[in-house]
Structure 1
Amino acid sequence: MTEIAPIASPGFDGPWLTDPQHHAWLMQDARRQLRFFDASLRSDGGFDVLDVDGTPLPRAGQELHTTARMIHSYMLGKAIGHPGADRMIDAGMDYLWTRHRDAKWGGYVWGVDGETVTDGTKLAYGHVFVLLAAASARLAGHPEADRLHADIAEVIERHFWAEETGLLIEEYTRDWYAFSFYRGMNSNMHGVEAMLAAHEATGEALWLERAGRILDFFTARMAPDYDWRIPEHYSVQWEVDPTYSGNPMFRPAGTTPGHSLELARLLLQHWDLAGRPATGADTRARHLIERALGDAWLHGGGLAYTVDFDGSVLSRDRYWWPVSEGIGALASLIKLDGAEAARESDEDWYRRLWRYAETAFVDTARGGWFPEVDADGRPAARQFQGKPDIYHALQADLYPLAPGLSRQAGALMQGRAAAPFG
């Protein structure tokens, strides 16, 4: 394979989304990531977490979102013609149905290791990723996609969707005992992602309507009241819990700029699918993006993981996924205005994020992205070991290549990412 460098054409003055070399570099990195993560597939159909050099790390149970995200990621890989994508999708679909799926109690357990359940918790966060996997499998033409979709849709309806609030309930024990009163933004945000994918894959209007209700709560009700920083943690009555501090990765204290960037992209996707109504969704998305970048960009580069409600930085940890989501959000703003008419500040931010990602996170020698770096941009391993994720970084590569704000996966499946666009 011929190496394509640098990240964009030297001296190119136009928007990077119209630069053929930038498109070629994105596609090259996507293919490099997929080749790296091919090695995660085990002989029993599960997926190993890989060390930075691609060797499997010791097994500690396979988490539900990992299995589901691999299906989604390799659907995107199939869309760009990655050899062997089908075997990864097949393995993930079988593992979901025969290992994660709980034949006794229904739903999908969080952690498994072969036939052993390592964590039987039933989380909204994990179940919405199963919905995403079902939608992705349908786009990929998998024969068991409809079965998985029907099952997960029934589980979400029965246990997780609260019609009175238009939001998702968070967590249960394996036998469906609601053991906490916690409510959270993160699971609902990924619920929006999954519901929009389900709508795009099936045409079912219910998913679009429910995604809209979740988005309205967080972006039209909560964000404006908190100066466009979205509270993460809530009580059972959906009252903000400003002092909550839980799991340092999934439920950290404060607000999470990376989630604002992700939710802004999803807000634009929903708005586009809904026919671009005059609801101010596009303006809200811009407010979220500009606030997140303004708060979180650190001296020396990278995005702070968390900030307080006044915008002061709480955690300076530099992870790959907020930068990935920033790339997707800025690409969405540039597409919204048209690449040639996009704001100069949007183009500047898009380039800044990609330059930082290229120098700090992208492993051009072996493939995949380092998940965290220190203040000097060197790989670190405080929170993560190895390279535990392809999902965020692969989307950062491929979403700028799709021409629209919505139906991006479908566009890639139809081969509509071959040429730069204006």
Structure 2
Amino acid sequence: MTTWLTSDSHHRWLEQETDRLLSFGRYAQDPRGGFGYLDADGRIDASRDVELWITCRMTHVYALGSMMGRPGAAAYVDHGVDSLLGRLRDEEHGGWFAAIGADGPTNTAKEAYGHAFVILAAASATAAGRPGAAALLDQAVAVHTERFWDDEAGMSRESFNRDWSEEEQYRGVNANMHTVEAYLAASDVLGDRELLDRAARIVTRVVDVYGRDNEWRLPEHFDLDWNPRLDYNEDEPAHPFRPYGATVGHALEWSRLTLQAASSLQQTGRATPEWMVPAARDLYAAAIRDGWNVDGQPGFVYTTDWEGAPVVRERMHWVAAEAVGAAAVLWRTTRAAEYAEQYQQWWDYIGEHLIDLDKGSWHHELSTSNEPSATVWPGKPDIYHALQATLLPRLPASPALAASLAAGNLGKA
């Protein structure tokens, strides 16, 4: 069938959008180290500290740009790697600070979310062949293995204080989702099948247990024994990292990661569990059912309650980006026409409402009437989700993006 996913002209547009996003992010470098939080105009928001997760995401995307032959991208990767080996690293206690300001660390917590992104950034920089990246990746995997990986649970712990002596009394699926992403990326770069097995264990528990048991509305928050806390943050439903209820975009992201894990297991000669592809389809379908156009306006709501009713109705750009990625990988896996049709539908929405042709990048948040808003995500902090949405349709389900680019897979899916 004819579809955008196989269209050379659409792929050329995706490449142009990749370059437009990389151009927008070029002012994010903080000369003292790391990458700053970008405002709506693409300039560093001086009121915000340099944060670990943004620094890692930007290092990752410019590593991808470097491997695509974008002149100047390598300098951004090196800047990120140097910052992660220097300014953002805790030389005394190990690991990485969550945030740092002009006079030193401003958030000394050791967070699984940020540390997963250190692995991702280091893996991508290593695939790109940048100096210091391999040593950074070894450090990042070692810290995560020692401090965060809970082998008995088959999941990642959440966070600690600076010297690792106090652990937060919380477990979260968001950090585990990005741990899956990071482990898959590092496994491909290092040839470390243990990391792939860990990723598969996380996916199994989150998707095949928690997702299946909750009608594919994924619980996000847990106690230390992994009992769901379904009322967590009910009084702060629009939290940017720990919102109340089910997060529509995470179901889409887990759908894609489940398929990536399945493909990686198959490619390495491991048995792929039969539940993986059907579960990925069910997760995606539930997210579309609960999240898309449910209040009379196009777009995905941010969160729903446990019956599927919208809670936070603002539209986040990253949810639409993840819908694109999930639809693309589902189509490549199943060749079902519905995913090709929805893939085009998601891009039409993005093109009409999210892409900012005036100031660059994508609006990170829209109101229920699809006008720019800033209740959860002011500005345009980084380009990670949007840029990945321009690459996933042009690459196979696995290996991960950086390893796939290094293998010359772009445009051959």
Please tell me the TM-score bracket, short chain as reference: over 0.9
SS of residue paired to 1:100: coil
**How far apart are residue 115 of structure 1 and its match?**
4.9
Say whether 1:321 aligns with 2:321: no
Give the Cα separation in 2 of the matches to 1:284 and 1:350.
Answer: 19
**Distance change (3 Å), C-alpha of 1:32 and 1:109:** same
**How far apart are residue 278 of structure 1 and its match?**
4.3
2:302 to 297, 300, 305: 305
Give the Cα separation in 2 of the matches to 1:406 and 1:414.
Answer: 9
Say whether 1:86 aligns with 2:81: no
Give the Cα separation in 1 of the matches to 2:138 and 2:339.
Answer: 40
Q: Per-residue displacement from partner, 1:146-182 (whole Å, max 9, x unpaired)? A: 2112211221122111111111111111111334211
**Distance change (3 Å), C-alpha of 1:190 and 1:404:** closer
Match of 1:277 in 2: 272
**Residues 166-315 of structure 1 aligned to structure 2 (within 5 Å):** 166-245=154-233, 248-275=239-266, 277-298=272-293, 299-315=296-312
SS of residue paired to 2:312: strand
SS of residue paired to 2:34: coil
**How far apart are residue 284 of structure 1 and its match?**
0.7
Q: Per-residue displacement from partner, 1:271-308 (whole Å, max 9, x unpaired)? A: 10111624221111000000111100122211111111
Deviates more, 1:315-324 or 1:363-372: 363-372
Q: Per-residue displacement from partner, 1:88-136 (whole Å, max 9, x unpaired)? A: 0001011111111101111111001245101101111111111111111
Q: Per-residue displacement from partner, 1:40-67 (whole Å, max 9, x unpaired)? A: 1233333232222223322421111111
Deviates more, 1:42-51 or 1:371-380: 42-51
Q: Which amino acid aligns with 2:395?
A: A
Q: Which amino acid aligns with 1:214?
A: I
Q: Which amino acid aligns with 1:279?
A: E
Give the Cα separation in 2 of the matches to 1:418 and 1:189.
Answer: 27
Give the Cα separation in 2 of the matches to 1:152 and 1:54.
Answer: 29
TM score, norm. by length of structure 2: 0.94
Q: Per-residue displacement from partner, 1:209-242 (whole Å, max 9, x unpaired)? A: 1101101101111111111111111111100111
Query: 2:52 touches 2:97 (CA, 8 Å); kept in 1?
Result: yes
Give the Cα separation in 1 of the matches to 2:3 and 2:397.
Answer: 16
Q: Which amino acid aligns with 2:203?
A: L
Say whether 1:136 aligns with 2:124: yes
Alignment root-mean-square deviation, CA: 1.6
Give the Cα separation in 1 of the matches to 2:43 and 2:117.
Answer: 26
Query: 1:336 touches 1:405 (CA, 8 Å); kept in 2?
Result: no
Q: Which runs of 5+ in 1 are unaligned?
A: 1-12
Match of 2:149 in 1: 161
Give the Cα separation in 2 of the matches to 1:300 and 1:149.
Answer: 44
Give the Cα separation in 2 of the matches to 1:396 and 1:199.
Answer: 22
Paired-residue identity, %: 38
SS of residue paired to 2:313: strand
Match of 2:362 in 1: 369
Give the Cα separation in 2 of the matches to 1:99 and 1:142.
Answer: 18
Q: Which amino acid aligns with 2:263?
A: D
Match of 1:9 in 2: none
Query: 1:48 touches 1:59 (CA, 8 Å); kept in 2?
Result: no
SS of residue paired to 1:60: coil
Give the Cα separation in 2 of the matches to 1:405 and 1:282.
Answer: 14
Query: 1:80 touches 1:415 (CA, 8 Å); kept in 2?
Result: no
SS of residue paired to 2:245: coil
Q: Which amino acid aligns with 1:212?
A: A
Query: 2:217 touches 2:286 (CA, 8 Å); kept in 1?
Result: yes
**Residues 38-49 of structure 1 aligned to structure 2 (within 5 Å):** 38-49=26-37
Query: 1:79 touches 1:414 (CA, 8 Å); kept in 2?
Result: no
Q: Which amino acid aligns with 2:232?
A: Y
Q: Which amino acid aligns with 2:84?
A: L
Q: Which amino acid aligns with 2:373?
A: A
**Distance change (3 Å), C-alpha of 1:129 and 1:407:** closer
**Residues 71-150 of structure 1 aligned to structure 2 (within 5 Å):** 71-150=59-138
**Distance change (3 Å), C-alpha of 1:151 and 1:410:** closer
**How far apart are residue 418 of structure 1 and its match?**
4.2
**Distance change (3 Å), C-alpha of 1:249 and 1:357:** same
TM score, norm. by length of structure 1: 0.92
SS of residue paired to 2:403: helix
**How far apart are residue 81 of structure 1 and its match?**
1.8
Query: 1:270 touches 1:406 (CA, 8 Å); kept in 2?
Result: no
Number of residue pairs matched by the alignment: 404
Q: Per-residue displacement from partner, 1:337-381 (whole Å, max 9, x unpaired)? A: 3xxxx3232122111111111111112234211101112222112
Say whether 1:358 aligns with 2:351: yes
